[in-house]
Structure 1
């Protein structure tokens, strides 16, 4: 049944999706009052207070309204359609309308349900919801927004379900609901009688909907306490099902030959018939580049009975390609274009001390462990798609249009991902799999080769930063920061096809307000300066280059705020101040300062370090959360520096799962080490050189600090903040600042050590299989 303020509707069995059974006894949707709660944007959540020892700066846009606030407002109208059920087995089942991609949101949301239902976590299931177009903007995973959006609605939903279960027991025992309590999945009477939720679920479905108030924080038994991931056992035992692991009947392995340059044009397949005669090959299909709202990358697909045979077929193809969209471009030419977009900085005030610099950040790949993969079964009158989607509704709608089916004839199943970080906001593999399945009349299980997943992916765009800080009389009187970046591809809209179309079509919203205004608005709802730096300006200059780019974890904040943390240290040096004391002087509010004090104490800031070693400090605030980090760096060999210890203190306002928050901070440290020290993409003639983990120098076990301490601050009384984005920037600043302290070098180009120390694979060809090496 559906729980609303005014009615009750008995649930009905829905037609089962192949391989995915569904049963519902008590179904609860979010009560109407939750819509009011969910729509409240905390305008004072991050507002600064003036620091008496610093010249106050005006608040950043993000302090008033950030990207998660925008997503929250967009999600609010359909919040009443989210689904929670309690079955005859006494288990709770929440259909999560977001993608679990390792960030732990399924567990955290399960904790909210378990808390308000007084149910053990072992009796809570949180499967991912199929694409549901009726949810409109409410299936968008990104911007560290999930817990900020769902924290109150899910608690109210579960509290309402609990009230209905109590009502059912009260009716059966002819008692007042106020006399009853719930405990471990049962309703208990004053005389000790107890009924399990499973026994009450059917009766509860007919109990009138009740307004229920979630628990006060002082009564929490689950929220705020460490909890292991719901899927931890299945992950460590190999039972976790990712897209690659799914066994959809008759889905045939499929791989794709791709051009030797980014988005090269398919001209001809010169030996199609010969490849089709190879052992196990079932078909060869041209995938021309589409020019729809979100393009399908070009390629030639080979379907076979095994992936080995598909790979052999791809390697044997003789294909003629035309030029790509960024042929001739390299990191150097792109940086030159970005520099030319930046206006000169203002002339500093006469007599002021000046700290300035120009910084570059190389393109970066998401590099997930699971390469792009999707399964599609396209028939004459229907289709089913399986894959990992951060924005599943628009993916389903777009694929339906591409294969010529009505949207209500396409089912899209969201499968957990090992990681997403923005890459899963696009659905290239699913579009390709659907095209191949339609052409060959068979289900296709399409998987990218590792080399293609790095070379023909969507990258974090390169950036160039130009910064100048002016100081006078011991004060920072101005901070000017200009950022040039290749324009992000944001045609995904807010998660469904109408806003997507508005963002993409000529004359649409994006064109009407101007690309620069639109991208600047995106930048300004993400990047937040925590300091009182006098007259402080940040200007964003997007450059239109047809390069495949997309969002990346903390895509604008990590490089922009990372640069600001480097500049903060250089300003501290110019004023002869300790870098922690400098921040305590110029940070905007006491919440920030408390995090700084806590990490400095925990890490023993200022302690004596061995020769060639140094501590470094970094601070960050984003998504209504705050983090500070101290690292210890061994840079006796500046070409191979290594972080040996990291201490992080993080304040997320209202921690739901401290264990999950710690895991996110540990992941942020790993990413900061990679992107700051050695992981980037070299573009040469329009194609990344990197094509494997041996070439893309991501953080390995040997690179990670042996000692990591993450301190999660208790509930601070502030609104709940996000976790995914906030963990990268403080370690970024800390690593660079430690490097400068120990080597005397002030890095300006990142990653710091960025050599081509490998032999690239030939463009347009797959490397030999590992078993041939």
Structure 2
């Protein structure tokens, strides 16, 4: 969902002094860890150390410690796959736990804080988790060799059993304690791809049984604690509004209501259960201070953005050639404007968080995505050092960027409520803050509203001479801790990613950016800037192909610079029978986008319903994400990304009237229906390149692929989303 500094995979490979071991304390067994260069290290007599990744218990369970949030994208399964393969564990013995919040121990190697996003989980952990598994295996073998008085070279490991040529064998659990006393190998040998058992093949989802049966409470919304209160907030009607005063007399009459607390983000009603809190919230009489509120509607905001793109903006440094000269000498110039609405994330599980604060320490339970930032913000509100703030990361029912908050506002909110209760003399008790669906849809932190303007000049034969591209949106990164990495000379990289440097050969190209101001909070949304830049770039390429009188696929392949992008274009086209006649009433379009260092091409086959709406019949997807760690999960992520992208382009939008959000729930912020979901066929490119992202790259190509298919049928491209605004009959 975001982009920061990248680090090569080799940075994760440990040296001898970085690799230490950790005993399991009272549980016994073997725990391995990787100490990152430059971090503090304190190995004590019980074996405590930095960066624990795998714990082998005497009961023969292999516990993989997951440093990333799993919000449905399969991260826990992916990391377990890496450990299990190098360890030669049996899949049935592998379990996962989320690691605690500790930046020194569990940082994301891609951007230096503990957090999940930008489709970096597998990429930054690939060597790290494999190495932990390989070291554990080597120590088990050494333990067996010592116990049986044999040579280690005579020992093999398979499906969780350590075997010797003499016929002796032992389980991991039987060897765990002795293995924990072995020297940690300086540089454990990693398998070659030919020896992989799970990587690139399959590994069962570690969360499947619990999620299917519901036997275990996984999510923050499920969390319960003794003596717990539930807090629901009356939130401001406009962004930038704050509560001035509140009359809570009627609310306090509701049975179960315990307290009413005013905080900057609204007025919280605390009750013994959720329903009385919601019921009482509706009885609050609040006076709001609108002096700093956003008072405009989205129509006025869209006009402002469009006006910006008519002016010179901040220059994106990746341009080349003399665009102005090219446009002034062109025989023909086309100018196309695009408009994209605010989008909510709308995960199935809205935000929720439980806090227990006693004045000296605080513990949180939630699907934390940015543990380091969440820990620091909560500590700042409560006056605690990070070591006094514990975060129990739970499974999250979706996020799509919503939980990755630079301001950690829901941690701050929960902390303020808990502090207010304690300061008022109340005894410490758990407080769960719950967002309703309406709170979620109306609560902001949207994908920014965006405007694009593309001006392209051609010679008399339809060849492109130059392309000037302007983008206007509120910056996601400005004002956050990530600004120093992502905002340079006025240009937020997340605004222009995907359009700052086109993947096709062009004689001259220049992009410019404008930063809009609004009180509406914005946030990364699944695939961030690529959600709109990919749409514009790939529909514009189809236009250029039409101007040149060429087939859209042939036009791309003649000009695409990256062979991996060309590869997925060819694969998707081949599997879609590109160039062969379609059935009557069927049309298709193609698009390809590189995002998060992965390459995805999609061919959309469409038809039209009698009511003039488009029906996506089939999508062929080709993805090159480097080494495919778990093909089943990659297919699932491509399918999910395509569905998520379809919902956005077909009918999703957040609109405002006089600063008030018009949508409230799924009856007005319309989700994708089962009848909208196409048949999807995913093809994964075999690769030995380092693994890259799959959580987000499936989303950007689907919009332009559908738009190009519509243009193939109607001769015009939709440039103002969502498509539900347009009668396609």
TM-score normalised according to structure 2 size: 0.88
Task: Tell me, yes or no, if the aligned pair for 2:498 and 2:530 is still in contact at 8 Å.
Answer: no
Task: Tell me, yes or no, if the aligned pair for 2:305 and 2:451 is still in contact at 8 Å.
Answer: yes
Please show how residues 446-525 of structure 1 align to structure 2 within 5 Å: 446-472=433-459, 473=461, 475-489=463-477, 493=481, 516-517=489-490, 519-520=492-493, 523-524=496-497
The Cα of 1:259 is off from its aligned counterpart by: 1.8
Which residue number in structure 2 is paired with residue 142 of structure 1?
A: 117
Which residue number in structure 2 is paired with residue 56 of structure 1?
A: none
Task: Tell me, yes or no, if the aligned pair for 2:494 and 2:528 is still in contact at 8 Å.
Answer: no
Cα distance in 2 between the residues matched to 1:729 and 1:234: 31
SS of alignment partner, residue 753 of structure 1: helix
Task: Tell me, yes or no, if the aligned pair for 2:447 and 2:524 is still in contact at 8 Å.
Answer: yes
Task: Tell me, yes or no, if the aligned pair for 2:344 and 2:445 is still in contact at 8 Å.
Answer: yes
Deviations 1:646-704 (A, max 9, x none): 11111111100111111111111112212212111112222321110110122111111
Deviations 1:175-200 (A, max 9, x none): 22222111111211111211111111
The Cα of 1:156 is off from its aligned counterpart by: 1.1
Deviations 1:217-238 (A, max 9, x none): 1111100013332111111112
Deviations 1:717-747 (A, max 9, x none): 3222211221112111111111112223321
CA distance change for structure 1 residues 178 and 517 in 2, over 3 Å: closer, same or farther? Answer: farther
Cα distance in 2 between the residues matched to 1:380 and 1:307: 25
Number of residues paired by the alignment? Answer: 675
Q: Which runs of 5+ in 2 are unaligned?
A: 1-13, 39-48, 313-322
Cα distance in 1 between the residues matched to 2:415 and 2:560: 52
Which residue number in structure 2 is paired with residue 319 of structure 1?
A: 286
Aligned partner (choices 591, 594, 598) of residue 564 of structure 2? 591
Residues 249-258 or 111-120, more deviating: 249-258
Cα distance in 2 between the residues matched to 1:618 and 1:353: 25
Please show how residues 50-449 of structure 1 align to structure 2 within 5 Å: 81-135=51-105, 137-210=112-185, 211-239=187-215, 240-270=217-247, 272-287=248-263, 289=264, 298-323=265-290, 325-342=292-309, 343=311, 346=324, 348-426=327-405, 427-440=408-421, 441=426, 442-449=429-436
Cα distance in 2 between the residues matched to 1:534 and 1:80: 52
Cα distance in 2 between the residues matched to 1:466 and 1:700: 32
Cα distance in 2 between the residues matched to 1:676 and 1:667: 14
The Cα of 1:550 is off from its aligned counterpart by: 0.9
SS of alignment partner, residue 655 of structure 1: coil
Please show how residues 525-604 of structure 1 align to structure 2 within 5 Å: 529-604=502-577
CA distance change for structure 1 residues 744 and 91 in 2, over 3 Å: closer, same or farther? Answer: same
The Cα of 1:143 is off from its aligned counterpart by: 0.8
SS of alignment partner, residue 447 of structure 2: coil
The Cα of 1:608 is off from its aligned counterpart by: 3.0
Aligned partner (choices 609, 617, 626) of residue 582 of structure 2? 609
Task: Tell me, yes or no, if the aligned pair for 1:528 and 1:622 is still in contact at 8 Å.
Answer: no
Q: Does 1:687 align with 2:698?
A: no
Cα distance in 2 between the residues matched to 1:719 and 1:9: 27
Cα distance in 2 between the residues matched to 1:384 and 1:231: 24
Cα distance in 2 between the residues matched to 1:727 and 1:10: 39
Cα distance in 2 between the residues matched to 1:316 and 1:8: 58
Cα distance in 2 between the residues matched to 1:514 and 1:227: 40
The Cα of 1:595 is off from its aligned counterpart by: 1.6
The Cα of 1:536 is off from its aligned counterpart by: 2.4
Task: Tell me, yes or no, if the aligned pair for 2:340 and 2:721 is still in contact at 8 Å.
Answer: yes
The Cα of 1:204 is off from its aligned counterpart by: 1.1
Cα distance in 2 between the residues matched to 1:526 and 1:541: 14
Which residue number in structure 2 is paired with residue 75 of structure 1?
A: none
The Cα of 1:624 is off from its aligned counterpart by: 2.0
Task: Tell me, yes or no, if the aligned pair for 1:520 and 1:541 is still in contact at 8 Å.
Answer: no
The Cα of 1:436 is off from its aligned counterpart by: 2.1
Cα distance in 2 between the residues matched to 1:308 and 1:192: 63
The Cα of 1:621 is off from its aligned counterpart by: 1.2
The Cα of 1:636 is off from its aligned counterpart by: 4.2
The Cα of 1:639 is off from its aligned counterpart by: 4.3
SS of alignment partner, residue 214 of structure 1: coil
CA distance change for structure 1 residues 152 and 527 in 2, over 3 Å: closer, same or farther? Answer: farther
Cα distance in 1 between the residues matched to 2:387 and 2:499: 35
CA distance change for structure 1 residues 330 and 732 in 2, over 3 Å: closer, same or farther? Answer: same
CA distance change for structure 1 residues 639 and 256 in 2, over 3 Å: closer, same or farther? Answer: farther
Deviations 1:268-297 (A, max 9, x none): 112x2332232111111111x2xxxxxxxx
The Cα of 1:351 is off from its aligned counterpart by: 4.2
Q: Which runs of 5+ in 1 are unaligned?
A: 15-22, 37-78, 290-297, 495-502, 504-508, 756-773
CA distance change for structure 1 residues 454 and 208 in 2, over 3 Å: closer, same or farther? Answer: same
Which residue number in structure 1 is paired with residue 682 of structure 2?
A: 710
Which residue number in structure 2 is paired with residue 731 of structure 1?
A: 702
Cα distance in 1 between the residues matched to 2:502 and 2:697: 13
Task: Tell me, yes or no, if the aligned pair for 1:429 and 1:447 is still in contact at 8 Å.
Answer: no
Deviations 1:1-55 (A, max 9, x none): xx972475553649xxxxxxxx4621111277xx69xxxxxxxxxxxxxxxxxxx
SS of alignment partner, residue 327 of structure 1: coil
CA distance change for structure 1 residues 492 and 384 in 2, over 3 Å: closer, same or farther? Answer: farther
The Cα of 1:585 is off from its aligned counterpart by: 0.7
Cα distance in 1 between the residues matched to 2:251 and 2:680: 52
CA distance change for structure 1 residues 638 and 585 in 2, over 3 Å: closer, same or farther? Answer: farther
Cα distance in 2 between the residues matched to 1:581 and 1:609: 18
Cα distance in 2 between the residues matched to 1:492 and 1:523: 18
Cα distance in 1 between the residues matched to 2:455 and 2:373: 42
Deviations 1:66-88 (A, max 9, x none): xxxxxxxxxxxxx9624321111
Deviations 1:362-381 (A, max 9, x none): 00000011111111111122
Residues 234-243 or 464-473, more deviating: 464-473
Q: What RMSD, in angstroms, separates the aligned Cα atoms of the two structures?
A: 2.5
Cα distance in 2 between the residues matched to 1:648 and 1:598: 9
CA distance change for structure 1 residues 523 and 202 in 2, over 3 Å: closer, same or farther? Answer: farther
Deviations 1:429-482 (A, max 9, x none): 332223223333432111112111111131111111111233445643333222
SS of alignment partner, residue 591 of structure 1: helix
The Cα of 1:529 is off from its aligned counterpart by: 2.9
Cα distance in 2 between the residues matched to 1:594 and 1:673: 24
SS of alignment partner, residue 439 of structure 1: helix
CA distance change for structure 1 residues 8 and 145 in 2, over 3 Å: closer, same or farther? Answer: closer
Cα distance in 1 between the residues matched to 2:494 and 2:70: 27
Which residue number in structure 2 is paired with residue 744 of structure 1?
A: 715
Task: Tell me, yes or no, if the aligned pair for 1:527 and 1:561 is still in contact at 8 Å.
Answer: no
Residues 533-542 or 549-558, more deviating: 533-542
Task: Tell me, yes or no, if the aligned pair for 1:676 and 1:752 is still in contact at 8 Å.
Answer: yes
Task: Tell me, yes or no, if the aligned pair for 2:598 and 2:625 is still in contact at 8 Å.
Answer: yes
Task: Tell me, yes or no, if the aligned pair for 2:600 and 2:622 is still in contact at 8 Å.
Answer: yes
The Cα of 1:303 is off from its aligned counterpart by: 1.0
CA distance change for structure 1 residues 355 and 176 in 2, over 3 Å: closer, same or farther? Answer: farther
Cα distance in 2 between the residues matched to 1:189 and 1:526: 58
Cα distance in 1 between the residues matched to 2:455 and 2:439: 40
